[in-house]
Amino acid sequence: MTWNIPNVLTILRLLAAPAVAVMFLYFNRPWADWFALVLFVSAAITDWFDGYLARLWKQTTKLGTMLDPIADKAMVVIALAVILGYSSMSPWLVLPATVILFREVFVSGLREYLGDTAGTLKVTRLAKWKTTLQMVAIAVLFAQGVFEHYLGMSAYGMDQQLVTDILEGRVEDLHGLRWKMMGMVISGHAGLWLLWLAAGMTLVSGIDYFSKSVPYLKD
């Protein structure tokens, strides 16, 4: 194994994937949301840097080629599991997450079955775009959790009617409820739309990989 900077970044990203879930075991919310968001975004940024540096320094290795897609999938799958676990399990969130998870498992199974001929399923530009979009959507959804819990903390102990009056502008907003609510709503809707877009792109990518593998699946 070659321990160069691109490979180290890839391995750190792989380790960051389960660490996102661990944040919710050792920290209360919204700190857990903050730490998960920062960790996830930092790890996602390394996804671009490790590939760029490997090409720039001509340090592309078999280890990096193998671990890079695994790290990406681990990040997406674990982060989606965390978001689903702490969400209201809305079908509008569950459905795109299911499409993404199914595709990742299906394509990984195809690669394992094809063995030596799995080179026909090399990572495409479309697959890179869908991974980027998945990570952006997940980061925005983590941000929604931050706004949601700051809103809950600010409104804690308030009468529901008072909260409604503040949000509707009838009472002075001394605790920033309105901007926290706006941040929660905007990030929630934006994250959901981005996740649906990522799911569509993920589905197209999966169909593309399957069509390329069909000739190798015939008896």
The residue range of the domain holding 173 is: 5-217
- pLDDT at residue number 1: 56
- pLDDT at residue number 200: 93
Q: Which pTM was predicted?
A: 0.84
- pLDDT at residue number 119: 58
Q: Is 175 helix (H, G, I), strand (E, B) or coil?
A: coil
Number of domains in the chain: 1
- pLDDT at residue number 219: 60
CATH code of the domain in which 163 resides: 1.20.120
Rounded to whole angstroms, how far apart are CA atoms 40 and 81? 14
Whether the CB-CB separation of 206 and 106 falls below 8 Å is answered with: yes
Rounded to whole angstroms, how far apart are CA atoms 191 and 197? 10
Averaged over successive runs of 10 residues, the pLDDT of the chain (219 residues) comes to 75 88 86 88 82 71 74 89 84 92 86 67 78 91 88 80 78 82 91 94 88 77
- pLDDT at residue number 101: 92
- pLDDT at residue number 67: 77
Whether the CB-CB separation of 61 and 8 falls below 8 Å is answered with: no
Rounded to whole angstroms, how far apart are CA atoms 47 and 44? 5
Whether the CB-CB separation of 133 and 198 falls below 8 Å is answered with: yes
- Compute the half-sphere exposure of residue 189: CA atoms within 13 Å on the CB side of its CA: 5
Burial 23-49 (b: 16+ CB within 10 A, else e): bbeeeebbebbbbbbebbeebbebbee
